[in-house]
Chain A
Amino acid sequence: MTPATDARLLLLNPADNCLVACCALVAGETLLIDGEPVTLPRPVGMAHKLARRALAVGDKVLRYGAVIGSVQRPIARGEHIHTDNLGSDYLPTYTLQDGSKYVLTSHD
């Protein structure tokens, strides 16, 4: 039997190294990932991703069993995966900084 993972986390494909939050999760919350308790270092919004296991720079993140980009900064188990630590292998990602400034995401 697969080790238990919190019901609020969705594993879309068995090969994935990220999990998707079904609802907003707060920092400091402890939940089970693959049978082991993890305390969330950062909040994770609904439908945002967190690391199923620790990830190193250059690792590929898998979702739906497919690559969605490369890790740019080390990511701890249970940590939010987003534009500050994951980059596209195809095209740059633009975001709104402070809700107004349209900027290219930088990992430098």
Chain B
Amino acid sequence: MPTLTGFPRADGRKGIRNVVAVAYLVECAHFVAHEVTLAFRGEPVHLVGFPGCYPNAYADKVMRRLLTHPNVGAVLLVSLGCESFDKRGLEAEVAASGRPVYTLTIQERGGTRKTLNEGIEWVRWALAELDTQPRVPMRWDELVVATVCGGSDGTSGITANPAVGRAFDTLIARGAACIFEETGELVGCEFHMQRRAATPELGDEIVRCVAKAARYYETLGHGSFAPGNADGGLTTQEEKSLGAYAKSGDSPISGLIKPGDIPPTGGLYLLDVVPDGEVRFGFPNISDNAEIVELIACGAHLTLFTTGRGSVVGSAISPVIKVCANPDTYDRLADDMDVNAGRILRGDATLDQVGAEIVALVHDVGHGRETASEALGHREFILTYKAFEPIGPSCLPVRQATRAMPPLSSTRATP
């Protein structure tokens, strides 16, 4: 089996990209941080950030995970100065991970122009530093692969999603950790998933977690069903769910994690994206990229994105491989797609063939091959307010036997 290559990090993980992340810590610093990245068009300088001025433990955890993600090599923090984000804690976390990190506070630096110039100078230095780092061999069991679907139609659940499921089964057999998500899109699949759980206790947790999602969406009055889904032939939330569920393949479910939790071993993991407690900050994930960001916060090196109607998004930090379910959509949006799973519908390929094609592409992208969205320059990013309780004791039955999740240094207790 061919091996992978990656950039070694101090925590033992390896990255398949070596990105300089420029992070704004409040919307008021967004423009300046964005201007810094514009000076490096075509280079691996990615913009991430959190827009809110009020503190949030979830956003704090996700930002710490993102900026110590194995695909990130160096970090520039851009602060306005009066926001509540714990920038010194974040800076210390990144520094402790062995990465170069620099914080620019606009109010102290003397405004937009001075901050911008200093930021550009630092990123130029960081890129030169990262340029000297060689790739080293990487094992499949060091790889974390995520999957999401967006712009689903009736073809998603019969071509791209089951093909990704086949790819997941192969990747898991090679030792990789694979993550599927959006419990709100798994309403109706809870008892199917319960039967696949590694332990009965984990199965019960999964059923509770989907019930929580159904309650949450009921309060909001909407599921994750968009009008385009119906145009594409999907009629109900549970029909969409079953199609989405096909992405998970046939492997046993090893654990249930929440945003920022890193799978402790290889195997299949379900990411619970629906907040705990009463409905507070609105919709759990307001768009597909919010889900992708959470998967990256769980350590995903790359994301398999299935689409029927035709999404064009990529992501900051981790590459997105787009698997197009609908052959007509592929014909219209071929430049944005990596895999044409719609061939299955026309009788030109089998699910197994497309699954093997996805695994081969994961290998190549792991070696540095650009995905379609990377080549086009897509680097979408969004992070909003949420609230989670830590996962329960039954959620990771395999944890004891294996490597521990890299700990976060003390995160401020915030609402």
Contacts and interface: CB of A to CB of B under 8 A. Distances in A.
B263 interface: no
A91 interface: yes
Nearest to B239: A68
Interface stretch (B64-72, B224-232, B282-290): B224-232
B227 A68 contact: no
Nearest to A7: B347
B266 interface: no
Interface string B165-194: 000000000000000000000011100100
Nearest to A97: B227
B266 to A, nearest CB: 27
Interface string B208-233: 00000010011001110101001111
A101 B221 CA distance: 17
B237 interface: yes
A27 interface: no
A20 B227 contact: no
B221 to A, nearest CB: 8
A94 B222 CA distance: 8
B192 A93 contact: no
A43 interface: no
B238 A88 contact: yes
A68 B187 CA distance: 10
A68 B233 contact: no
Given A20-B154, A47-B155, A90-B187, A96 B227 contact: yes
A92 B235 CA distance: 10
B233 A10 contact: no
A83 B230 contact: yes
B238 A69 contact: yes
Contacts of A102: 227
A21 B233 CA distance: 10
A10 to B, nearest CB: 6
A83 to B, nearest CB: 6
A95 B188 contact: no
B158 interface: yes
A26 interface: no
A33 interface: no
A89 B222 contact: no
A66 B192 contact: yes
Contacts of A23: 345
B242 A68 contact: yes
Contacts of A94: 222, 225, 227
A63 B225 CA distance: 18
B163 to A, nearest CB: 14
Interface string A44-72: 01111100000000000001101111000
A49 B235 contact: yes
A63 B242 contact: yes
A66 B244 CA distance: 13
A92 B221 CA distance: 8
A88 B238 CA distance: 7
B374 interface: no
A64 B156 CA distance: 13
Given A90-B223, A94-B227, A47 B239 contact: no
B158 A20 contact: yes
Contacts of A87: 236
A23 B326 CA distance: 10
Contacts of A47: 153-155, 158, 232-233, 308, 326, 345
A55 B246 CA distance: 26
A83 B246 CA distance: 22
25 contacts: A10-B158, A20-B233, A21-B233, A22-B346, A45-B233, A46-B326, A48-B233, A49-B235, A64-B157, A64-B243, A64-B246, A66-B189, A68-B238, A69-B238, A82-B230, A83-B230, A86-B235, A90-B188, A90-B223, A91-B237, A92-B221, A93-B236, A93-B237, A94-B225, A102-B227
